[in-house]
Amino acid sequence: MKTVLVLGPQNTLADAIRNLLDANLFRVLPHSEVWEAEPLLRQGFIDLCLIDAELTSIEPIRMVEQLRSLAPQAPILVFAGELRQEWEEEAYLLGVMHVLAKPVRGRVLRALIQRLWPAGTVTPPLPAELRAGAEERPATKSSTSNSKHTLEILRDFSGILCHSLCSEALLRQFLLLLREIIGINRAAIFLRPPPSSLAMTVQAGNDRRMHAACAIGIATGLLDHFDLSLDSGIGGQVFHHGHILRVQNEECRRDREIQKEFELLGSEVAIPIWDRESLVGVAVFDGRLTGEPFTSEELSLIFLLLEQLGLAIKNTWLHDQLAANHQIMLDILNQTGSGCLVVGRNLEILHANRAAQLLFSRSKNHPSGHVEFSDLPQPLASRVFEMLKAGQPEAPFKYRPASAPGTVYQVNISQFRRQNASSPNAVLMIVEDITQHEKARMFEIQEANHRLLQTMAAQLAHEIGNSLVPLSTHQQLLASKMTDPEFIQSLTGVMAEGVRRIGRLSSQMLYLAMTELDRTDAIPMRELVEEAFAEARASFGAERSHLSFDEGFTPPPLLGNHRALRHALAEILLNALQANPADPHARVRFRGDSVSNGGPMLVVELLDAGKGFTPEAIHKAFDPFYTTRPVGLGLGLTVAQRIVQAHQGHLEIATLTGVPGGAVRLSLPQTTPSAPAPSRQGAKQVLLR
């Protein structure tokens, strides 16, 4: 069998060559760099080199030079899609046999190979034992006997597979099989420490040493205290150079430490164990049982077998790491107080931790704590079933079992879905007991409501008391001054003010208690603002207060609750007048806004002439009973916000650049009635006094 080395950035050319050539006659080895195949090239294991490169730069020429220095006798073919004459000539001068154009043409490649090896010179490989005894067996031996012997060797090799998850047994079976086939005398395999996992840690510096994993013919006591280093000795030489090391090599003769290690192990050759990416370990061997040394072909075969063994060892490490991590996760799940259940596609319980077993297992049916899907309560089982079948995500929810009144569970159900799968293949359900949390939360809510009730009672008593004091004073003087015109006039004013204050307080309480509003009125916004300002001016009690509009935008009429919106605007405008009692002035600006929450918005900005809102006032302006004045309940903006939100709008404290004073921005959806009110046209600024 001939070995073909294919060098290229991808495996495309290697796959094409493998499909063209007879697998019984040619072995195709793909590599991306020359140094990866250096051990094979130095040992003369490569019979043909194919390079996949564009002859447009110096890099392919350097690759040819490296190949020619490592394997002078190996023919070289170059497959290129783009050529330059100077580089093509340089390739031929360096010894390239042919430069072929892509794509690969099967007839041309086969013709070139036939010139290299005429028909009959390439023969299928024989197993090692068959080659060793080929001369001893008579030529007339039946094919049935050969097939039987080959099947016996394959059976012996397949025996290694049963130990694929136990590296120690795998290595021992491999060494015993090598002794049976090739006749090795003494052998030892040293491995690097496996990669660390959640359950394993590697001590500092220990990852630079290789420990004995298996040996035959060598005393166990010796290997217990003998390691190979990656920095010096046999391990360092193999790690840095990557090729087979013989005791009679020049580098071994110059290095006393290498000679000493070979003497201690009673060995003559060291072969690296690669996993095609990195060094896994080193195998050291003595000669044959008969005392004869190994040939180069036998060492090359052992090198390739050890490479496959390295891949098996790496897979064993990955399995051990996965199993350790899996056990750690199981231990974590068992220690957590939340119940964790994994339910498969066919409604089988794939995993249930201890908390889930305590929650759902029925001891009379499953004494061992085993949980089945039928053990789940119907509300939980139905949700799991719907998620597995429909694949729709499920929001976290609370579950209150009928068998345990007062107990509350928080349930989260998550999907496990393979890539590009249309439905989940499993779900994870986490059930957490939040009974104490719910009790604490309800207690906090009750305490908050109690504090709010206390504050409301105190504020209401204070506001009603302020309204009743003038009335009580006049009631005491009523009998003696009933005929006094001045007293009658004062009594009339006090009664009007008391009724207004108590009526405003009553309206605020009603709007705070509302659940919904009838929004069927066609409201002309400009007239609504004027009505609200008149109401605010009556509450403020100053005739010199005035309102101005910034023209340029005519607000459309909206659908809403006329009375509620008027009250909300009156509360905002009253705050604007109270912001500067010396110059009670309010300014209104209308504008349209871009699409928000599914539709266009009408924005109303109400500006005052005061000092503006403090940072604390901006943060607490809409909190109930927050006020910066000695009188009033502090419910004006709270009620206004509640009314605006009932209209699907938004109320906020605005910060406008270049505008002195405070500003409140009111945004309402532009739900235009079927018969819009007529628009207004006016001057640049209109004053209402």
Question: Cβ–Cβ contacts within 10 Å for residue 429, how many?
Answer: 22
Does residue 280 sit in the same domain as residue 346? no
Does residue 169 sit in the same domain as residue 316? yes
DSSP-derived secondary structure letter, 244: -
Does residue 424 sit in the same domain as residue 484? no
169 within 8 A of 177, measured Cβ to Cβ: no
pTM, entire model: 0.41
Q: Which of 125, 121, 95, 167 is nearest to 27 (CA)?
A: 125
Looking up residue 283, the CATH number of its domain turns out to be 3.30.450.40
Output the six-digit token pair for 302.
């052992």
pLDDT of residue 272: 93
- pLDDT, average across residues 375-399: 87
What confidence category does residue 282 fall into, taking pLDDT thresholds of 50, 70 and 90? very high
Q: Please name the residues in contact with 392: beta carbons below 8 A apart, sequence gap of 6 or more.
A: 386
- pLDDT, average across residues 303-320: 85
44 within 8 A of 3, measured Cβ to Cβ: no
Does residue 295 sit in the same domain as residue 391? no
86 within 8 A of 94, measured Cβ to Cβ: no
What confidence category does residue 676 fall into, taking pLDDT thresholds of 50, 70 and 90? very low
Question: Which of residues 63, 98, 116 is at a domain's end?
Answer: 116
Does residue 159 sit in the same domain as residue 286? yes
Flag whether 126 is in a domain: no
- pLDDT, average across residues 657-679: 72
Q: How many CA atoms are closer than 13 Å to the CA of 135, on its beta-carbon side?
A: 1
pLDDT of residue 140: 41
- pLDDT, average across residues 645-666: 84
Of 116-125, 335-344, 356-365, give the lowest mean pLDDT range: 116-125
- How many domains does the chain fold into? 5
CA 226, CA 220: separation in Å to the nearest integer?
10
- Answer whether residue 107 shows pLDDT above 60: yes
- Answer whether residue 157 shows pLDDT above 80: no
- Answer whether residue 248 shows pLDDT above 50: yes
Q: Please name the residues in contact with 661: beta carbons below 8 A apart, sequence gap of 6 or more.
A: 579, 580, 607, 608, 609, 610, 611, 612
pLDDT in tens, 492-545: 888 877 777 777 777 777 777 776 778 888 889 889 999 989 888 887 776 778
pLDDT of residue 137: 41
Beta bridge pairs of residue 409: 399, 433
Flag whether 420 is in a domain: yes
- Answer whether residue 105 shows pLDDT above 70: yes
CA 340 distance to own-chain centroid: 21
* Domain around 179: 146-321
What confidence category does residue 156 fall into, taking pLDDT thresholds of 50, 70 and 90? low
Flag whether 501 is in a domain: yes
Query: Mean pLDDT, the chain, as a whole number?
Result: 79
Question: SS3 of 48, please?
Answer: strand
pLDDT in tens, 407-441: 999 999 998 887 777 778 899 999 998 989 888 88
- pLDDT, average across residues 17-41: 81
Flag whether 502 is in a domain: yes
Does residue 539 sit in the same domain as residue 644? yes
Beta bridge pairs of residue 190: 212, 282
Does residue 460 sit in the same domain as residue 519? no
Question: SS3 of 14, please?
Answer: helix
Question: Which of residues 470, 486, 510 is at a domain's end?
Answer: 510
Does residue 595 sit in the same domain as residue 669? yes
Flag whether 330 is in a domain: no
CA 184, CA 284: separation in Å to the nearest integer?
11
- Answer whether residue 334 shows pLDDT above 50: yes
- pLDDT, average across residues 683-687: 38
Flag whether 331 is in a domain: no
- pLDDT, average across residues 260-273: 90
Share of the chain above pLDDT 90, in %: 6
Looking up residue 543, the CATH number of its domain turns out to be 3.30.565.10
Does residue 362 sit in the same domain as residue 244? no
Does residue 302 sit in the same domain as residue 359? no
Does residue 296 sit in the same domain as residue 343? no
- pLDDT, average across residues 462-473: 77
CA quadruple 498, 501, 504, 505: dihedral sign: negative
Does residue 370 sit in the same domain as residue 481? no
